[in-house]
Amino acid sequence: MSQAGYLFRLNAELGRRLNRMKKRAGAADRWGLARHADYLSGKQLESGGFPDREGEPDLYYTAFGLRGLALLGALDAGRATRAGAWLSEHLNAQATVVDLHALVEASLLVSLAGAPDPLSTAQPDWQDRLADLLQTFRTSDGGYGKVPYATSGSTYHSFLVALTHPLVGRTVPETASLLAFLSTRERPDGGWVEAPAMRKSGANPTAAALGLRQMLDSPLEPERLERTALFLDGLAGTDGGYRANGSIPLSDTLSSFTVAWSLDQQGLAQRVRARELAGYLAMVALPGGGFRAGVWDAGEDVEYTFYGLGLLALVHGTEDA
């Protein structure tokens, strides 16, 4: 898989499966997709952005709000134009890797929906400037950190930087050292960790490592992949989802999605606990639309709603579902 293909494949594949569910359900809409679309539409603020849990517009949550609407085929030009106007006001804001990626991805979604590109008003060499900025997050161990000039790399932020490069027409530099960095985050349990001091792997750094290896055309050997699959299998929770790590008793919607997506994309879709996940989704879906982070969560937001939609697609949107 090419570097540029990963994010497009994720969004396109989940959208295709949700569309298949729509066609199957017809007017009955037994999975509540229209309800979830209404929820996301209703979360867009007057300013055009989408809110965090405190109700403030936020780049990260705006990207997830737009991604969710796009998956459902509900991101029209009007909503995209409003979001684009808000994004245009944040082109020169101080940003983390997370915010930089969110800004670029959200701008791309706005453009694909037929609205003016928020980045069209940026300086002509903004792609070069952004690529140079991303390199300030490169760490001596070959990865990328959360902040510029960090002392050690982060598995998640390395994945995020690799996602961002192709969105601005650039390839990830020095991929051999990036893969070498990933090897330092592997653990004997079959997964990957986020930081060097960690000994037990987690769902999300493992998913990030697998995604990064896909982008860099470096798939795991079958025997090594089986160890990773066994690790991910072991994260299954009694509530039907998947847990962030083996020490946590309850599942969460993010980890459930990243585990299911990782297994699916590694050709191990049969290992996904579809029946149990269907039950988990029923517990975390809200009557008025949207999803919670877990059965323990009293709130909701557009990020976890995106993960809930992704899980719906993986569980109910396969050809034989």
54-108 pLDDT, tens digit per residue, is 999 999 999 999 999 999 999 999 999 999 999 999 887 767 889 999 999 999 9
Residue-averaged pLDDT of the chain: 94
Residue 138 lies in a domain: yes
SS3 sequence, 223-273? HHHHHHHHHHHCCECCCCCECCCCCCCCCCHHHHHHHHHHHHHCCCHHHCC
Residue 248 lies in a domain: yes
Kindly report, residue by residue over 231-261, the tens digit of the pLDDT: 999 999 999 999 999 999 999 999 999 999 9
pLDDT, residue 123, reads 83
237 and 245 Cβ atoms separated by less than 8 Å: no
Q: Please compute Rg for the chain using Cα positions.
A: 19
The CA dihedral of 167, 168, 173, 178, to the nearest 10 degrees, is: -30
Residue 101 lies in a domain: yes
- 252 phi and psi angles, rounded to 5 deg: -140, 160
Residue 293 lies in a domain: yes
pLDDT, residue 4, reads 52
At residue 1, does pLDDT exceed 80? no
User: What single DSSP character describes residue 36?
Assistant: H
Give the pair of three-digit tokens for residue 270. 């049969």
Total domains in the chain come to: 1
| Bigger pLDDT: 252 vs 8 | 252
User: 65 in the Ramachandran plot: left (φ > 0), alpha (ψ -120 to 50) or beta?
Assistant: alpha
pLDDT, residue 29, reads 86
70 and 113 Cβ atoms separated by less than 8 Å: yes
Closest CA to 153 of 182, 130, 189: 182
Distances (CA, A) of 130 to 112, 242, 269: 21, 35, 36
Give the pair of three-digit tokens for residue 318. 């396969």
Kindly report, residue by residue over 294-310, the tens digit of the pLDDT: 999 999 999 999 999 99
Q: Check which CATH number belongs to the domain holding 305 and give it.
A: 1.50.10.20
Residues 6+ apart with CB under 8 A from 52: 58, 60, 61, 301
Residue 321 lies in a domain: no
At residue 267, does pLDDT exceed 60? yes
Domain carrying residue 26:
5-316
pTM check: above 0.85: yes
